Each structure stands twice: as structure tokens, then as C-alpha cells.
Amino acid sequence: MAQKTIYLPESAVATWDDAKEKLGESMGAIVHDCLKRKLAEAAARKELDANGFDRIVIDVLDDADRDRVRQKSFKGYWLFEGLQPLNDGDGVFWAGSMTFSVARTAKGSLAVYIRDDKNDGGDLDVFETFEEFRDHQSDNIPFAPQNIISAVAAELAVEHIEDIDI
């Protein structure tokens, strides 16, 4: 079996010790799994990046005047467009007139465009990482339903397991 040395910053030692105690696997196996996952993410990002970036233009509702629509643009590519949220039993009602579109920006962020068909425009939120998008909440209400989170994870080749309370 090959041996490798890993140097950790002091700030990561507690996480290392916690993982070693709670995960019950060899640290080599855990590091191997993490590396495989990161390599898969990088390969997926490289494949998507090879597709090139387009100028994406969207109609966004003005924060100060919700009756006013402004056009905004950025460089990126759509992971998917117009996906409807599913009510997944988490206690949050997602309107059937709502759609989610998610793009990868040229800077690697996720641009999430949420539009309600009842309006002329939508809202744009930007997240630097998948984890930030997945975990984002407002007043203990998830930012997005599980079907949207799972769709983003699938497009990014990121492992996402939905926890259910049964």
C-alpha cells in the first residue's frame, strides 16, 4: 500500500480529528473518496467550460420597484431552463407558475433565475458554490426545492443525497 503525507493547516486539525472519530473509515479511504469526487466535478466543469460561454440576457424585477423590469446580462451557459419546482413534503408550497433556471457563470458561480409566470421578470440570485446554493435558507425556508437542487447536482456531477424523515 502506498503512503502519502498530508499537511493540514492548524484550522483543519479539529475537522480531521472529528472525521477520524465519527466516520469510522480509514482516513485514506475518506481522502480517496473526496479526491474522486473533486476530480469528477473538475471533469464535468471542464466539459461544460469547453462548450464556451454565451451572453445570457434575463428580465429581472427591480428590487426597489417590483413593477419595473430591468434587463441584466452575464457570460455563462444554462445548466437547465424553466424547471418547475415540485412540492416535496417539506412544508413549503412552491407555486406551479414558478420556474427555476440555473446557469454556470464565466467566473464559476451559479446564477439562479426564478420566474413566476404572473410577472414580466424574475429574480436573480448568485451563489459561489453548489453547497452555498443547496444550504441557503431565508427564515428557515429552503431557497429551492429538492428537485431543483438535485437537478443542479446532476448537471454539475456533484453527489447530492436528499435526507428524508421517515
* Distance separating alpha carbons of residues 156 and 24, to the nearest angstrom: 28
For residue 88, pLDDT beyond 90? no
* Distance separating alpha carbons of residues 127 and 137, to the nearest angstrom: 12
For residue 166, pLDDT beyond 90? no
- Express each pLDDT in 98-153 by its tens digit: 999 999 998 999 999 999 988 888 999 999 999 999 999 988 888 999 999 999 99
How far does CA 148 lie from the centroid of its chain? 9
Name, in order, each residue with C-beta under 8 angstroms of 74's C-beta and a sequence gap of 6 or more.
55, 56, 103, 105, 106, 111
One-letter amino acid of 156: L
Owner of C-alpha cell 464535468? 44
- Band of pLDDT at residue 29, cut at 50, 70 and 90: confident
Which has the higher per-residue pLDDT, 45 or 100?
A: 100
Residue among 36, 40, 56, 35 at smallest CA distance from 156: 40
- Band of pLDDT at residue 49, cut at 50, 70 and 90: low
* Distance separating alpha carbons of residues 137 and 21, to the nearest angstrom: 30
Domain positions in the chain: 10-48, 53-156
State the pLDDT at residue 163.
Answer: 77
Residue among 79, 75, 86 at smallest CA distance from 133: 79
